[in-house]
Amino acid sequence: MLPAVYSFTRDSVALKAPRFPILTLDERQLTPALGFIFDVRWLLPGESIVSILWKFARANGLAGHTLVQLMGADVDPYEGVEPMRDVIDVKRLRRMLCLPVKVLRASLLDAGQRGRHHPTFRYCRQCTARGHHSVTYQMFSENRCPAHDRMLETQCRHCGRETPYILNAILVGSPYRCAWCGTLYGTRFPPVLSTGPTMRKEDRIAIARHFHNRMAGSFCLGGDDRRV
Ligand SMILES: [Zn+2]
Ligand SMILES: [Zn+2]
């Protein structure tokens, strides 16, 4: 005789798979085999590593400190690590996120440009409300969002504090909101997964074009016009 769990009829309540993976293994060894989901189509060209990790964390129900630990075996999640290409182990990151190396390298700051980046998280209010933060927003040479023509901001509008642009549990663990007071940077919570549905097509094109015009040379990205 089958166990009771197998004997439900069509009218019984179906057993549902848990929404998120149950982490029974060492979280430093997370792999896609455990069922994590991520899709490169959720990203716009130039999406920052912070934006990528926010989407990954929300899609898979992971805490910020867990993701930061995956940046390196000896990374203290509360101290964190600089989001720079010469600091982050991109191959390790690729194994976890299953994203192309090119996308991950573009999401990180260029070590050769050290000193030309804002040390604090800098954002467009409208973009964060739609789930997007570009690596270009961290650069001193950029002042406005290419899609919404808004001045980029660093302070929380509620408490006035800024958050260091470091991959640590504080920043990665506070998707789209101030890490200090919890107020959203934008006017609403963005969709859990993709930026696409809430960003107008012309805005997506403006962001992609701006990224490629300004950054493609230094990122060696060539003429890749994927998914806008
Ligand atoms: Zn914007
Ligand atoms: Zn705040």
CA angle 34, 51, 174 (to 5 degrees): 85
Reported as a pLDDT band with limits 50, 70 and 90, residue 195 is: low
- For residue 219, is it within any domain? no
Which H/E stretch holds residue 56?
helix 49-60
- For residue 109, is it within any domain? yes
Distance CA 208, CA 224 (A): 10
- For residue 12, is it within any domain? no
Percent of the chain past pLDDT 70, that is, above it, reads 76
> 72 C-alpha to center of ligand 1: Å?
31
> 192 C-alpha to center of ligand 2: Å?
21
- For residue 28, is it within any domain? no
Rounded to an integer, what is the distance from CA 97 to the centroid of its chain?
11
Residue of 89, 171, 169, 187 lying closest to 138 (CA atoms) = 171
Between 127 and 215, the higher pLDDT residue = 127
Query: Whole domain around residue 100: which residue ranges?
Result: 39-214
In this prediction, residue 130 carries a pLDDT of 92
> 156 C-alpha to center of ligand 2: Å?
5
Reported as a pLDDT band with limits 50, 70 and 90, residue 29 is: low
- For residue 199, is it within any domain? yes
pLDDT, mean of residues 61-68: 88
| Ligand approaching nearest to the C-alpha of 158 | 2
pLDDT at 27 over 70: no
> 116 C-alpha to center of ligand 2: Å?
25
- For residue 84, is it within any domain? yes
Residue of 45, 59, 199, 151 lying closest to 107 (CA atoms) = 45
pLDDT digits (tens, 9 = 90+) for 167-192: 999 999 999 999 999 999 998 888 77
> 178 C-alpha to center of ligand 2: Å?
5
Residues lining ion ligand 2 (Cβ < 5 A) are 156, 158-159, 178, 180-181, 183
pLDDT at 145 over 80: yes
> 228 C-alpha to center of ligand 1: Å?
15
pLDDT at 227 over 80: no
Q: Which residues face 120 on adjacent strands?
A: 164
Number of domains in the chain: 1
Reported as a pLDDT band with limits 50, 70 and 90, residue 23 is: very low
